[in-house]
């Protein structure tokens, strides 16, 4: 993993909410391995994994709080003596939000507001949060640029857009340094292949290796800007430690600027595994965006973001990882 910062982070304490999750655990790993003064994780294991945080048990500068962001006192406690917050805790998944919009709102909106308020009260230096490309909704133009969005297509998209609205108000009203990151289909090692709302990439790999049914929603020609997890880590680190005042109070696309179809992804995984396996096509999912491609020029200009991993590089690393998991 490349070094994504120039500050001496041994002087600073970090809070990563959702640090037992996929992206969150990679951010924690980066901070710990690069000598942060303290890295505190807040997670309730609703979607995060105990196995992810067990990786950090040997670090003296690591702390863990088991708690729920829907509880304001827990958020206040987590923010004590913290310099930088990376807020990754959320109930992800468009289908989950379609099935249970109330739970998605409670965690992603009420929980987010709790964390923003607790961070404000604690006087943190900056607050970086995970938004999503889902906020672009029915906006048809490609590539997606931050200032041009459409109508949301799912309750999940509504929650992430609401996060951005709250963040904008808190930045202007209270003078907080806040940055939002719109993730585009992040993938990589430790992404959970289990459960009803598992991500597509680990599902494809596990299905092909285990010779079980692999489903592709719709015709498979929908496109995505697949983004390797280290690129998302870089964006979080650069955003938290940002010194450019013009960069705060903004949202940024976090992607690579390449689009590939789901069918292409499936064939690429199958080729890397050298295993013939036919996918089963089924009805497209409610609330899904058809095509997605990011313009990342804003993040490059204001954050110094420069994705180190193209799709093919990240895919090979990811497939190699899951081959070991399933061997």
Whether 62 is a known active-site residue: answer no
Catalytic residue among 62, 136, 156, 183: 156
Q: Which residue has the tokens 């702390």?
A: 63
Q: Which residues of 269-293 are buried (b: 16+ CB within 10 A; e: fewer)?
A: bbebbeeebebeeeeeeebbbebbb
Contacts for 176 with CB less than 8 Å, ≥ 6 apart:
116, 119, 120, 127, 170
Give the CA distances from residue 122 to residues 83, 165, 245, in Å, rounded to whole numbers and listed in that order.
9, 21, 20
Residues in the chain, how many? 327
Q: Which residue has the tokens 């596990």?
A: 206
Q: Return d(Cα 236, Cα 186) in angstroms, integer.
A: 13
Q: Return d(Cα 298, Cα 72) in angstroms, integer.
A: 33
Instruction: Count Cβ atoms within 10 A of the Cβ of residue 147 and give its class: 0-12 exposed, 13-18 middle, 19 or more buried.
Output: exposed
Instruction: Retrieve residue 109's tokens.
Output: 């909106």
Q: Which of 223, 230, 203, 247 is nearest to 308 (CA)?
A: 230
Q: Return d(Cα 137, Cα 157) in angstroms, integer.
A: 7
Q: Return d(Cα 32, Cα 26) in angstroms, integer.
A: 10
Instruction: Retrieve residue 2's tokens.
Output: 């490349």
Cα–chain-centroid distance for residue 199? Answer: 12
Q: Which of 56, 129, 125 is nearest to 89 (CA)?
A: 129
Q: Return d(Cα 34, Cα 32) in angstroms, integer.
A: 5
Instruction: Retrieve residue 184's tokens.
Output: 């585009």
- What is the set of active-site residues? 156
């Amino acid at each position: 993993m490349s070094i994504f910062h120039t500050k001496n982070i041994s002087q600073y304490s970090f809070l990563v909410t959702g640090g037992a999750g996929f992206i969150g655990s990679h951010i924690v790993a980066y901070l710990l391995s690069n000598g942060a003064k303290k890295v505190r994780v807040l997670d309730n294991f609703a979607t995060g994994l105990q196995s992810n945080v067990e990786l950090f048990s040997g670090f003296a500068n690591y702390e863990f709080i088991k708690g729920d962001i829907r509880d304001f006192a827990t958020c206040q406690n987590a923010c004590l003596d913290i310099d930088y917050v990376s807020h990754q805790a959320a109930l992800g998944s468009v289908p989950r939000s379609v099935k249970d919009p109330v739970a998605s709102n409670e965690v992603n909106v009420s929980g987010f507001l709790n964390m923003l308020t607790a961070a404000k009260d604690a006087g943190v230096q900056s607050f970086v949060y995970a938004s999503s490309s889902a906020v672009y909704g029915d906006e048809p133009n490609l590539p997606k640029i931050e200032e041009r969005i459409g109508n949301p297509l799912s309750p999940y998209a509504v929650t992430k857009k609401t996060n951005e609205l709250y963040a904008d108000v808190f930045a202007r009203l209270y003078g907080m340094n806040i940055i939002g990151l719109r993730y585009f289909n992040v993938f990589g090692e430790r992404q959970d292949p289990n459960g009803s709302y598992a991500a597509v990439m680990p599902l494809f790999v596990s299905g092909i290796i285990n010779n079980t049914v692999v489903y592709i929603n719709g015709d498979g020609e929908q496109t995505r800007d697949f983004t390797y997890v280290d690129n998302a880590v870089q964006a979080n680190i650069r955003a938290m430690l940002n010194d450019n005042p013009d960069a705060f109070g903004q949202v940024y696309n976090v992607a690579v600027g390449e689009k590939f179809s789901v069918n292409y992804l499936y064939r690429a995984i199958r080729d890397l595994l050298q295993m013939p396996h036919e996918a089963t096509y089924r009805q497209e999912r409610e609330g899904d965006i058809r095509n997605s491609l990011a313009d990342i020029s804003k993040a490059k200009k204001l954050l110094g973001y420069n994705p180190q991993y193209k799709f093919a590089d990240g895919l090979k690393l990811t497939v190699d990882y899951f081959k070991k998991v399933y061997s």
